[in-house]
Amino acid sequence: MSYEASPSNLKQAMFVGHTAIALAAKTRTPRVSLGWLVAAAFGLDLLWPIFLLAGIEQVSIVPGATAFNPLVFDSYPWSHSLLMACVWGLCAAGVARWIGTSNGVAGLIGAVLVSHWILDWVSHVPDLPLWPGQ
Ligand SMILES: [Zn+2]
């Protein structure tokens, strides 16, 4: 059996990558729930449907748009731009700090959240904005 690179395999690899980041962070922060680390790793994808339902971000359904799904991301700068990923990472770190984690753990949680943008940037079609309004 051989492994063939395809858009579907790339998307699966991206999900594995987000999960791998959470698992790697867990080895560094054994007292933090893996659930919170997974939530941080997928954080931008958790924000996206909320912004979509609120009408802040837009998507079109175009059958056959990609091999993985029929979604064309028309606009998603508030959940998936690099600038906002950093803002959301700072917010996550701030919440972690507020509930009593150390600065190091809070920083790691923020970095895990920002890592989502990097992995999406590698695996998406080139549609990820750097900042809102770009
Ligand atoms: Zn994403």
Task: Say how many Å lie between the CA of residue 122 and the centre of ligand 1.
Answer: 11
Residue 120 Cα, ligand 1 centroid: separation in angstroms? 6
What's the pLDDT tens digit per position in 44-55? 999 999 999 999
Query: Residues 6 or more apart from 31 whose CB is under 8 A from it?
Result: 105
Record the pTM. 0.86
16: CA distance to ligand 1 center in Å?
A: 12
Going residue by residue through the chain (134 aa), what tens digit of pLDDT does each one get?
455 555 556 666 678 999 999 999 999 999 999 999 999 999 999 999 999 999 999 999 999 887 777 888 999 999 999 999 999 999 999 999 999 999 999 999 999 999 999 999 988 778 899 999 98
Q: How buried is residue 51: exposed, middle or buried, by Cβ count under 10 Å (0-12/13-18/19+)?
A: middle
User: What is d(CA 5, CA 29) in angstroms, rounded to the nearest whole number?
Assistant: 33
Give one DSSP letter per residue of 81-97, joined into a string: SHHHHHHHHHHHHHHHH
Ligand 1 center–CA 18 separation, angstroms: 9
- pLDDT of 98: 98
Question: Using CA atoms, how far apart are residues 84 and 131, in angstroms rounded to an integer?
Answer: 7
Interval 71-84: pLDDT, tens: 889 999 999 999 99
